[in-house]
Amino acid sequence: MKNLRPTREGYVEGILQAGRENDRVVVIEGDVSRSIGSASFEKEFPDRFFNLGVSEQDMLGEAAGLALTGFIPFVGTYGVFVAGRAWDQIRTSICYMNLNVKIAGAHGGVSVGPDGATHQALEDVALMRVLPNMHVLVPADANQTRAAVLTSMNTAGPVYIRFGRNPVPQIYPVDESVEIGKGHLLEDGSDITLVACGAMVSLALTARKFLSKRGISAGVIDMVSVKPLDRKLLIEQVQKTGAVVVAEDHQAIGGLFGAVAETLSVQYPVPAGVVAVRDSFGTSGTPAEVREKYKLTAETIVFEAERLME
Amino acid sequence: MKVNVKIQGLTPIAGRVRLDVLEMIRAAGSGHPGGSFSAVEILVELYWRIMRIRPEEPDWEDRDRFILSKGHACPALYSVLARRGYFDPAELLTLRKFNSRLQGHPDMNKLPGLDASTGSLGQGLSLACGISHGIRLNSRDSRVYCLLGDGEIQEGNIWEAAMSAFHYDLKDLTVIVDRNLVQLDGHVSDVMEIEPLVDKWLAFGWDVIVADGHSFISLEKAFEHCEKTEFPSVIIANTVKGKGVSFMENTCIWHGKCPDEREYTLAVGEIQGELS
């Protein structure tokens, strides 16, 4: 078993490093700083940390105000609340003015587990992706999350970074970097392309091994930059394989699958499958139980790939 | 850099702004005269007497900031900015037109002099709080002013921000509530009562002062008080919706309606009559 680490640890490492590198970085929290871990930023930079209580709408508006005076605010709270409750604030007060606000959506996907449906962000990527000027990053492990934070600090305009709650296998080295608009080709393949983001990337890598035993050569793209999507890499790979399976811990509507389907249907149509939540709310349970119920597993990725290969 | 205009000198400016607003809305064929007229003296007082600004240098770092949270009153703000020298008043007649910098609601990335883009009600006070934090972190002493509509404060976001401003001692922040008593659908008290208004702000920890929102003397006293207080401050500015045109006053009909030619002529006559 590879080392497991929660991606939120990467978020905390990222904002601490960002805070040390750039004194314009400030952190805004909404009463979940001990859950996300950003309380350690408060310890090191008390003057640049604002806990605004349980008030997502105000958090995003105040972040916009700080950006208007030249700061780079990182706003952290649970993805379901930040992307849903404060969507209009993000739209009008941040994206419309194209302000330099970085939004961290924690607790992404059903793999949050026991907290249940109300706390499992399943629509956040769709809600953020549709906004003009917004960038959307969905990192796969702690090191990539840390890199996503540093990249977003150096990217002009709004960025949404989505990460999970539970430990996931480490995929990337500590010096991993993230580039806006670039995916990672983790494994080359000739029969089918698996495109995944976030917690589903390690499952896609596992699925690739199963497929290889059955004589199917699957490529794996970690599409960490969901918006802008790495269309070049996607089309290059799909031209080679002729089929694609998208895996994400999110609704099948509007997220990474939406982005991939929008691109391929216009530019290079191929048979496609999806492993994601199918127009449903989540439920309580252990992360493993919940993933099993919604079929967010390596086995389902294998099944979808084989179905397309028939 | 206050401009040395005597208070009496502001009345013709307010009249000029009302005439501009009428012309702009007539040219556009749509817009919001009622809530623009109620805010005229507040805006003129701020931009001619109170705020530290440099119209020739709109992004001057030490300027005071103004957030028009009730963004639909932008015809009045555009006129004030033009008459104060931020851009050529000839451009006012492009309001709401294709390719105009004078968007239907304020777009700071298009027009100089705007400190934020607004239009979705309830968001301006949070912006003002964030700007106030930023000014403090930058060790500057600019003040932040934010104009809210009275109907607008039915939005929950306003009260989240009000709580936050007190918690963080944002004493350089002053809110003005344009208390014109009327919103789109009718009287505020009929649509959704916001009273007791003074008590609400007091309960949230703010320094509250009530002023006559059409009297420059009353407004000036109120702003002077706010500059000295140790708390975030709010001026409840009692105003008249549609102020200055008799048939537009105190009615929701003129919240968002363009006058026809007859109404326009009557309105211009009334405003000019006040000025002469």
Q: What angle do CA B77, B80, B82 make, to 5 degrees?
A: 110
For residues B206 and B199, what is the distance between their CA atoms, to the nearest angstrom? 10
User: Alpha carbon of A307 to those of A17, A211, A256, A273, A274: distances in Å?
Assistant: 45, 12, 20, 9, 11
Instruction: Give the pair of three-digit tokens for residue B167.
Output: 């918690």
User: What is the 3-class SS of A137-189, one letter each residue?
Assistant: ECCCCHHHHHHHHHHHHCCCCCEEEECCCCEEECCCCCCCCCCCCCCEEEECC
pLDDT at B4 over 60: no
How many degrees, rounded to 5, is the angle at CA B80 between CA B15 and CA B4? 85
Indicate the domain borders of chain A.
Answer: 4-169, 184-309
pLDDT of residue A1: 45
CATH class of B7-275: alpha beta
CA-to-CA distance for B134 and A24, rounded, in angstroms?
10
Domain ranges of chain B: 7-275
Q: Which among A57, A69, A88 has the least Cβ separation from residue B160?
A: A57
Question: Do B157 and A48 make contact, defined as CB atoms within 8 angstroms?
Answer: no
* Cβ-based contacts of A73 with chain B (< 8 Å): 130
Q: Tell me if A58 and B126 make a contact (CB, 8 A cut-off).
A: yes
Phi/psi for A75 (5° steps) reads -105, 120
Average pLDDT score, chain B: 96
- The partner residues of B173 in beta bridges, in order of sequence, read B144
The pLDDT value recorded for residue A228 is 98
Q: What is the pLDDT of residue B8?
A: 64
Q: Please report, rounded to a whole number, the percentage of residues in chain B having pLDDT higher than 90.
A: 96
* Closest to B237 (Cα-Cα) out of B169, B167, B146, B157: B146
Lowest mean pLDDT segment, chosen from A90-94, B136-140, B200-204, B270-274: B270-274
Nearest residue of A to residue B60, measured between CA atoms: A69
> Active site includes A56?
yes
Residue A154, Cβ density class (10 Å: 0-12 exposed, 13-18 middle, ≥19 buried)? exposed
**Closest CA–CA distance from residue A98 to any residue of chain B (Å):** 9
Q: From the CA of A53, how many Å to the nearest CA of chain B?
A: 8
Contacts of B60 in chain A (CB under 8 A): none
> Over 90: is that where the pLDDT of B276 sits?
no
The span from the CA of A296 to the CA of A78, in Å, is 21
Q: How far is CA A144 from the centre of its chain?
A: 10
**Quick one: pLDDT at residue B7?**
55
Select the CATH number that applies to the domain covering A4-169 from these four: 1.20.1110.10, 3.40.50.2300, 3.40.50.720, 3.40.50.970. Answer: 3.40.50.970
Q: B75, B77, B88, B86: which is closest to B31 by C-alpha? A: B75
Which of B3-7, B112-116, B139-143 shows the lowest mean pLDDT across its residues?
B3-7
Query: What strand order describes the sheet that includes A184-187?
Result: A184-187, A218-222, A192-196, A244-251, A272-277
pTM greater than the 0.90 cutoff:
yes
Q: In whole angstroms, give the CA distance from residue B233 to residue A124.
A: 37
Q: For an interface test with A, which of B62, B136, B157 has the most A Cβ atoms less than 10 Å from its Cβ?
A: B157
Given a cut of 70, whether residue B206 has pLDDT beyond it is yes
Q: Per-residue pLDDT for B118 more than 70?
A: yes
Query: From the candidates A9, A13, A56, A248, which is the catalytic residue?
Result: A56
At B59-101, the pLDDT tens digits run 999 999 999 999 999 999 999 999 999 999 999 999 999 999 9
Contact by Cβ (8 Å): A107, A100: no
> How close B135 comes to chain A (CA, Å)?
7
Task: Please report how the helices A142-153 and A7-21 are oriented relative to each other, as an axis angle in degrees rounded to 10.
Answer: 30
Q: Which residues of A touch B132 (CB under 8 A)?
A: 65
CB contact under 8 A, B164 and A58: yes
CATH 3.40.630.10 fits A184-309, yes or no: no
What residues of chain A have any CB closer than 8 angstroms to a CB in chain B?
Answer: 26, 47-48, 50, 52-53, 55, 57-58, 60-71, 73, 88-89, 91-93, 96-98
CB-nearest to A65 from B127, B156, B163 is B127
- Residue in chain A nearest B131 by alpha carbon: A65
Q: Which of A66, A89, A97 sits opposite B133 (nearest CB)?
A: A66
pLDDT at A111: 83
pLDDT at residue number B60: 97
- pLDDT band for B1, please (50, 70, 90 cuts): very low
B152-178 residue pLDDT tens = 999 999 999 999 999 999 999 999 999
DSSP string, B121-144: TT-HHHHHHHHHHHHHHTT----E
Residues from chain B that touch A70, judged by Cβ atoms under 8 A, are 134, 138
Band of pLDDT at residue B2, cut at 50, 70 and 90: very low
B10 to chain A, any CB pair closer than 8 A? The answer is no
Q: What is the ipTM of this complex?
A: 0.96
**Residuewise pLDDT in 10s, chain A (310 residues):** 468 999 999 999 999 999 999 999 999 999 988 888 888 999 999 999 999 999 999 999 999 999 999 999 999 999 999 999 999 999 999 999 999 999 999 999 998 899 999 999 999 999 999 999 999 999 999 999 999 999 999 999 999 999 988 899 999 999 999 999 999 999 999 999 999 999 999 999 999 999 999 999 999 999 999 999 999 999 999 999 999 999 999 999 999 999 999 999 999 999 999 999 999 999 999 999 999 999 999 999 999 999 999 8
